[in-house]
Chains A and B, each alone.
Chain A
Amino acid sequence: QQQVKQSPQSLIVQKGGISIINCAYENTAFDYFPWYQQFPGKGPALLIAIRPDVSEKKEGRFTISFNKSAKQFSLHIMDSQPGDSATYFCAASKLNAGNMLTFGGGTRLMVKP
């Protein structure tokens, strides 16, 4: 059972454009929603994370939007740059569950110059 569904699988955006990646979850017990960025041959790095008590969190060009009723959250990358080209994973976890993360399938983002 895939508990976190991520879309699209791949995304091509022009430099300066907005990249939007969406995730939907099923388990209402999830209470932590991080996004990870992974470059080829490297481990994932935490980009930004949100908890369900807020609907939006912004850090620089990266924004998470969270819709608790719809059980959806999304990552927006403003002013996308070629250096943002990477694979992005959303994830979810629940407190007191041993810090285990459930990952989405990933989105390969390519930002064209």
Chain B
Amino acid sequence: GAVVSQHPSRVICKSGTSVKIECRSLDFQATTMFWYRQFPKKSLMLMATSNEGSKATYEQGVEKDKFLINHASLTLSTLTVTSAHPEDSSFYICSASLAGRPNEQFFGPGTRLTVL
């Protein structure tokens, strides 16, 4: 149980275009979803936290207009990278938590974004 999926797993786009990444909790309703960014050989950097039906809370230094997060349902959150540039190329990972399992986060498989 507690499976999280991400789509797509890999995406290549041209500079200036927008890319949407989906994060789904497959067998549970997520109370909170998290979006992380990971650079090669580095740790996970929390970008934002989102709860269903409310605005995401962004970490300091993360541009909310650049990284749009929508959490429309208890099983789906999306991250849209707007007007992507090569420096946005990274590994994006989402995670989800559920009621009754305090502290725990269940991670998705990640999405590799490459901006040309």
- Chain A contact residues, CB within 8 Å of chain B: 31-32, 34, 36, 41-46, 49, 89, 93-96, 98-101, 103-106, 108
Contact = CB atoms under 8 A, between A and B. Distances in A.
Contacts of B42: 105-106
B61 to A, nearest CB: 14
B105 to A, nearest CB: 6
Nearest to A99: B97
29 contacts: A32-B102, A34-B104, A36-B107, A42-B110, A43-B6, A43-B95, A43-B107, A44-B44, A44-B93, A44-B107, A45-B107, A46-B104, A49-B103, A89-B43, A94-B103, A95-B103, A96-B102, A99-B31, A99-B32, A99-B102, A99-B103, A100-B46, A100-B49, A101-B46, A101-B103, A101-B105, A103-B43, A105-B42, A108-B41
Given A98-B32, A98-B49, A89 B109 contact: no
**What does DSSP make chain A's interface, helix, strand, loop or mixed?**
loop
A94 B103 CA distance: 7
Interface magnitude class on chain B? 20 to 34
Contacts of A31: 103
